[in-house]
């Protein structure tokens, strides 16, 4: 029992993921797993402030690329600037100036008036003017003042409007700005310590929205319910802040100077033509703010330029009036998009080579960035891009490293194993699908080529070993180049013989044709070598080649520690036997009927009859491969046709006619060995006719 348990334990130890999966599946699993770990690591890494800051800069770029958005004509900004200070005196002005402005604005129909100037201290020169201003404000009933929270951590007190002004005003809104770490104002809380932001306070008053018509959903949205039954949703981020949709640059707003309004009013009262048409104030929200260098109210915006604080409040109002709020995606949406992008990159790397994968990843990245810009500019949605960008880069770098560390190592092994047997192009194809080189191989239809140097043993005895080695190396190099040129594989050198395959290790649809073209090229190269060697007094090689197309077992055969990539099967033996027949028939190249059926339309071939090769019981019709049709002289094609007619007579058992035809043929071609062979067979059959069930194979038997 204990022994059985130990065996089971040892068996379970051997069951690993690598053993359960195919090599390709295992490599894919490792790649995907590593890339997923990389994506997960980058996800948490991008929580660092550095990456958050980069994200904000990418948001700024979208603002700058988009430019200004639609600005409501219901917003008018009144500037207290250099020119106004020069004409009306140093700041602070008497409260009467502001009372006059408010009265003028109301005279011309301003609906809401908002001040972005703090009135937290009494008028030192004329304390009674504060109550005068409060009286004007109360009478108007549409004036809102700002306030600023000091912040307990900084030890500053809150700056509130004078009690008389606060009591008389239509509302008070805070003007605190909370810039990001780089000093740029992009977000603001809608409500602090029970008070609305000044811009929202003014917008609510303009739309007639009271506190009872406002619903706050923390970390999601601020819901407004105007009297017209519409629902307005202001998106909030995870910190209950609203993204400020900066409407544009300073020049994009509708501005009036403080003194312009006073002057135009006076001109209108005197019956003259006002320098400014104050009727444009009717029904508007009027914001009064400082643009004077001595009263700094400057903020940095995503547009890359400074702007006045009053413009920030105007942008908030504009978003409410235009309903064009910036909407950050939820945290879950960001997570889904992030892993969708990184998963896409993983799938690309799994499918493509790093270069193509890099280009595809770059295309994904570019499309994603363009998509984020379209969402921002057209739909006011802030899609965060930095995390997906770095996630995709992390995945790609991980995949690249894995490729060069693991896959390149495999490529080196394959290249080392096959570089001497197939062309570099075929090696590259093998590397793409190395699983096909599994031990035991597959059953495939291939074309097998055998070539052998005739009389090599005798030749080698007559030539010095060094010279013979040089000739063999030159011969093998030339023959191998012909094999590689047609996509063939050099299976092995067998002494002075060559064995080559067509259609393995990679498929080759026209492998019979490729094999024939290789054989013809080998003889062309051999003739050049023989001429060269003849000129050097070295002698010449006489070669025979046999080709057969058939179904064989192809793959790695041997032990797991040592094996060879080769083919086995009866059709391999047939190709070897056909090469041996070339010497008997006195021809250079013999192909089988299975090869001829696939190349007969393009190759000029001469039938040589039917044979049963040694080691086989099957009949095979054989053909002499002569060349490519159309590339040969007409007399050669005529010779083949004449010989074909002789064979037709021979296999029709018309011995007398066959004899006469072959005599005529040999008169024209006296050295033609196939004709001599069939002349001998005809003479034999004239005396010893074959049986009725003759299989067309010549088997010479003489009865004693």
Burial 345-376 (b: 16+ CB within 10 A, else e): bbebbeeeebeebbebbeebbeebbeebbebb
Greatest Cα-to-Cα distance within the chain, rounded to the nearest angstrom: 156
Q: For residue 152, is pLDDT > 70?
A: no
- Can you give 419-461 as a three-state secondary structure string? CCCECHHHHHHHHHCHHHHCECCEEEEEEEEEEEECCHHHHHH
Q: For residue 649, is pLDDT > 70?
A: yes
Q: For residue 500, is pLDDT > 90?
A: yes
pLDDT of residue 14: 45
How far apart are alpha carbons 395 and 338 in whole angstroms?
Answer: 12
Q: For residue 6, is pLDDT > 60?
A: no
Please report the beta strands in 309-429, taking only residues with DSSP state E, as ranges in sequence order.
Answer: 327-328, 381-382
pLDDT of residue 702: 33
Q: Quick one: 243 exposed, middle or buried, by C-beta within 10 A (0-12, 13-18, 19+)?
A: buried
Mean pLDDT rounded to a whole number for the chain: 86
Instruction: Mention the CATH class of domain 437-632.
Output: alpha beta
Q: For residue 427, is pLDDT > 70?
A: no
pLDDT cut 70: percent of the chain above it: 89
The answer to whether 441 and 553 are in contact (CB under 8 A) is: yes
pLDDT by residue (tens digit) across 9-25? 444 444 444 455 556 67
pLDDT by residue (tens digit) across 652-689? 999 999 999 999 999 999 999 999 999 999 999 999 99
What is the average pLDDT across 625-652?
94
Q: What is the pTM of this model?
A: 0.60
pLDDT of residue 416: 64
pLDDT of residue 297: 84
Q: Which residues sit opposite 145 in a β-bridge?
A: 172
Cis preceding-peptide flag for 505 (omega within 30 of 0)? yes
At 595 the three-state DSSP class reads helix
pLDDT of residue 580: 93
**Would you state the torsion angle of the CA atoms of residues 559, 564, 566, 568, taken in this order, to the nearest 10 degrees?**
-30
pLDDT of residue 423: 54
Helix and strand element counts for the chain (H, E): 24, 25
Q: For residue 572, is pLDDT > 90?
A: yes
**How long is the chain?**
704
Q: What is the DSSP string of 214-262?
A: EEEETTTEEEE--TTS--EEEE--TTS-EEP-----GGGS-EEEHHHHH
Please report the beta strands in 116-211, taking only residues with DSSP state E, as ranges in sequence order.
Answer: 143-147, 171-174, 187-188, 191-192, 195-196
Residue that has been written with the tokens 């270069």 in this structure: 355
pLDDT of residue 226: 87
pLDDT of residue 161: 93
Q: What is the DSSP string of 457-487?
A: HHHHHHS-HHHHHHHHHHHHHHHHHHHHHTT
Strand 232-235 to 221-224 pairing: antiparallel
Q: For residue 509, is pLDDT > 60?
A: yes
pLDDT of residue 23: 60
Q: Between 23-45 and 331-351, two packed helices, what is the crossing angle to 10 degrees?
A: 150
């Amino acid at each position: 029992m204990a022994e059985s348990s130990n065996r089971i334990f040892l068996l379970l130890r051997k069951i690993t993921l690598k053993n359960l999966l195919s090599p390709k599946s295992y490599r894919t699993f490792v790649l995907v797993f590593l890339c997923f770990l990389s994506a997960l690591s980058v996800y948490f890494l991008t929580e660092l402030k550095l990456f958050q800051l980069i994200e904000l800069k990418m948001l700024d770029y979208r603002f700058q690329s988009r430019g200004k958005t639609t600005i409501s004509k219901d917003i008018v900004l009144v500037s207290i600037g250099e020119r106004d200070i020069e004409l009306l005196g140093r700041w602070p002005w008497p409260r009467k100036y502001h009372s006059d402005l408010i009265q003028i604005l109301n005279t011309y129909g301003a609906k809401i008036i908002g001040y972005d100037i703090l009135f937290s201290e009494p008028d030192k020169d004329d304390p009674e003017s504060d109550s005068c201003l409060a009286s004007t404000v109360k009478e108007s009933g549409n004036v809102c003042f700002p306030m600023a929270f000091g912040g307990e951590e900084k030890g500053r007190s809150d700056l509130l409007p004078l009690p008389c002004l606060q009591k008389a005003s239509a509302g008070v809104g805070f003007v605190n700005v909370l810039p990001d770490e780089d000093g740029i104002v992009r977000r603001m809380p809608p409500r602090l310590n029970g008070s609305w932001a000044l811009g929202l306070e003014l917008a609510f008053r303009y739309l007639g929205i009271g506190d009872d018509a406002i619903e706050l959903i923390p970390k999601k949205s601020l819901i407004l319910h105007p009297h017209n039954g519409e629902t307005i949703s202001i998106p909030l981020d995870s910190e209950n802040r609203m993204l400020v949709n900066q409407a544009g640059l300073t020049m994009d707003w509708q501005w009036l100077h403080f003194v312009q309004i006073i002057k135009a009013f006076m001109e209108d009262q005197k019956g003259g033509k006002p320098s400014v048409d104050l009727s444009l104030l009717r029904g508007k929200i009027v914001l009064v703010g400082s643009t004077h260098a001595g009263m700094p109210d400057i903020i940095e915006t995503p547009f890359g330029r400074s702007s006045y604080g009053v413009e920030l409040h105007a942008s908030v109002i504009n978003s409410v009036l235009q309903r064009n709020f910036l909407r950050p995606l939820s945290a879950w949406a960001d997570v889904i998009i992030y892993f969708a992008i990184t998963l896409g990159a993983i799938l690309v790397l799994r499918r493509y080579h790093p270069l193509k994968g890099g280009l595809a990843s770059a295309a994904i990245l570019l499309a994603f960035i363009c998509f984020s810009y379209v969402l921002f500019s057209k739909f006011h949605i802030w899609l965060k891009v930095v995390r997906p960008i770095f996630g995709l880069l992390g995945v790609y770098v991980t995949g690249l490293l894995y490729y060069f560390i693991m896959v390149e190592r495999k490529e080196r092994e394959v290249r080392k194993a096959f570089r001497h047997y197939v062309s570099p192009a075929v090696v590259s194809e093998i590397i793409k699908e190395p699983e096909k080189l599994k031990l035991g191989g597959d059953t495939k239809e291939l074309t097998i080529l055998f070539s052998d140097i005739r009389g090599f043993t005798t030749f080698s005895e007559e030539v010095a070993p060094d010279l013979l080695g040089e000739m063999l190396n030159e011969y093998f190099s030339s023959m191998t180049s012909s094999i590689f040129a047609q996509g063939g594989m050099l299976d092995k050198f067998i002494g002075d013989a060559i064995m080559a395959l067509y259609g393995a290790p990679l498929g080759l649809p026209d492998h019979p044709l490729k094999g024939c073209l290789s054989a013809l090229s080998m003889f062309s190269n051999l003739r050049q070598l023989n001429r060269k060697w003849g000129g050097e007094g070295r002698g010449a090689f006489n070669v025979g080649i046999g080709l057969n197309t058939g179904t064989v077992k192809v793959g790695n055969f041997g032990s797991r520690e040592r094996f060879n990539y080769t083919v086995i099967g009866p059709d391999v033996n047939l190709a070897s036997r056909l090469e041996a027949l070339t010497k008997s028939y006195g021809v250079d190249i013999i192909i089988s009927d299975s090869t001829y059926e696939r190349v007969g339309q393009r190759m000029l071939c001469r039938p040589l009859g039917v044979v049963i090769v040694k080691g086989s019981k099957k009949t095979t019709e054989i053909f002499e491969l002569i060349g490519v049709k159309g590339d040969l002289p007409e007399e050669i094609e005529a010779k083949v046709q004449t010989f074909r007619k002789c064979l037709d007579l021979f296999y029709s058992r018309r011995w007398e006619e066959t004899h006469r035809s072959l005599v005529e043929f040999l008169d024209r071609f006296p050295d033609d060995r196939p004709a001599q062979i069939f002349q001998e067979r005809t003479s034999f059959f004239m005396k010893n006719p074959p049986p009725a069930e003759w299989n067309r194979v010549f088997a010479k038997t003489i009865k004693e």
